[in-house]
Amino acid sequence: MAKRVGIWLRVSTEDQVRDESPEVHLARAQAYADAKDWKVVEIYRLDATSGKSVIELPQAQQMLSDVRSGHITGLVFSKLARLARNTRELLEFSDEFQQYGADLISLQESIDTSTPAGRMFFTVIAAMAQWEREEIAERVAASVPVRAKMGKNTGGQATYGYQWKDGKLVPDPEEAPIRALVYELFLQIKTKQGVARALNEKGYRTRNGHKFSYTTVGRLLRDPTAKGVKVANYTKSRGEGRGWELKDESEWVTHEVEPVVSEEIWDQCNRILDQGAANKAERPRRPTTYLFSGYVYCGRCGGKQKLYPQTGWDKYRCTKCANKIPMDDLEELFQRNLAAFLVSDVALDMLASKAEDRIKDRQRLLQVHRKELDGIQSKIDSCFELFHEGAMSGLEVKEHAKPLENRKKQLQEEIPAMEEDIESLKRHRDSRDELVAQGNTLAERWSSYDQEAKRDIVEGSLDRIIVHPDGVEFEFNYIPGSFPLT
């Protein structure tokens, strides 16, 4: 089947003055395609256009769309300066073409990435892009301590209960009362899980619209920002897609911000946390001896019979039919296919679907809150009408209206926060790059995890494993996938 290519024509006004008409460039490109027996299916024409920035132009966007869809698998143009005169855009074009297996063919520079020699172009371009990323990263890293000492934003969103306003970190009027409530509830309940449950039952949600969890409550309790001490410049990146690690404490920068709780309350809560951690450390934890215990089933027996660790043989074995698999082989298959699952379109679509479900749940709850607010206002109005008609005394109005006013105030604070949460959820639903990076990091660092960390990943991602005589079937979060043993 003939290779399907497009021809890129971009000629500036100056070129046309020099009689370098689009027809001349088209004839050269068509001749090259004919010599290669390629089929020209598209011509992208940008007449009298400056090359300073073209990637956002409709013709460029259409061309990139055709590359992504596979409509064209190559682009022929007269020279690199005709594609773009902006280095960053050239890198972006190259990145897109390499990602989708398409070729760039520049006639003047004799670059044809469909050939082994031409593919060196992608290598050089990739090196340039990496150098540029590292240069930017170094400049950003150098500016972080300076900005931190000035109390300015060093990246990322503000901690829950705060917002960046006019370059300063200040309490968020909607979230700050809830952040303070976390500490008050913890002093009463004494457990993070109990606080999370109490917040969720009251209808409160995190900034992203999720329910409060044990982990989220613990992080908020430990964060000293709430008592007026903002810590910055305390982490550094291990590299692209490899997570973060703490810096030496001598590099940390602290500055004062407006507190949402007193230092005394913050200290009391953290003493309780410290004591709980100490008590937990004193209790011996039962070690996890086998990574997949309880998750491995026999396919030969219909997927109902479990395979059990065979002591001394490093295998999982069915006690009914003797079907078995080496433990090391199973771990290698799990690692490889978990990585494939986490970055697959199926998994990402599933996560997007779950986010959509959460959005719908939040929208329903928002509708309930608005309806409740309208009902409360109607009841308050009725109380005052009865008072004016002499059917209710001032004391009775006060007794009936006060709890209604309190609930009204609470709803007026919660409804805007819920609306913002829904918008944040929508942004999260449409963001896939972060999820892909997390999946790649998890797979790449698998061998560095200890047994307990690996077991946590197994429990968090796996439903079960079915070992067949000719292969292994993994069921990740109710999305099955079969992978051969060979």
HSE of 390, CA atoms in CB hemisphere, 13 A: 0
- pLDDT, tens digit, for every residue of 144-195? 454 545 555 555 678 899 998 887 888 988 888 888 889 988 988 888 988 9
Q: What is the pLDDT of residue 413?
A: 84
Phi, psi of 66 (to 5 degrees): -65, -35
Residues of the chain with pLDDT under 50: 13-14, 16-19, 51, 144, 146, 148, 283, 285, 478-486
CA–CA separation, 205 and 207 (whole Å) = 7
Q: What is the pLDDT of residue 480?
A: 34
Q: What is the pLDDT of residue 385?
A: 86
Q: What is the pLDDT of residue 39?
A: 93
- pLDDT, tens digit, for every residue of 56-69? 888 989 999 999 99
With contact defined as beta carbons under 8 Å apart, do 31 and 78 qualify? no
Q: What is the largest CA-CA distance in the chain?
A: 98
Please name which of 332, 286, 363 lies closest in space to residue 443, comparing C-alpha atoms: 332
Catalytic residue among 12, 78, 106, 424: 12
**Whether pTM exceeds 0.85:** no
CA–CA separation, 468 and 325 (whole Å) = 9
Question: What sign for the dihedral angle of Cα 409, 410, 411, 417?
Answer: positive
CA–CA separation, 323 and 298 (whole Å) = 7
Going by their DSSP bridges, the two strands 74-77 and 4-11 should be labelled as: parallel
Other beta carbons within 10 Å of 374 = 11
- pLDDT, tens digit, for every residue of 96-141? 888 898 988 888 877 887 777 776 665 665 566 556 555 555 555 5
Structural domains of the chain ordered from first start: 4-132 (3.40.50.1390), 162-282 (3.90.1750.20), 297-476 (1.10.287)
Q: Is 12 a residue of the active site?
A: yes
- Looking at residue 159, its amino acid is T
Token pair belonging to 138: 């170094």
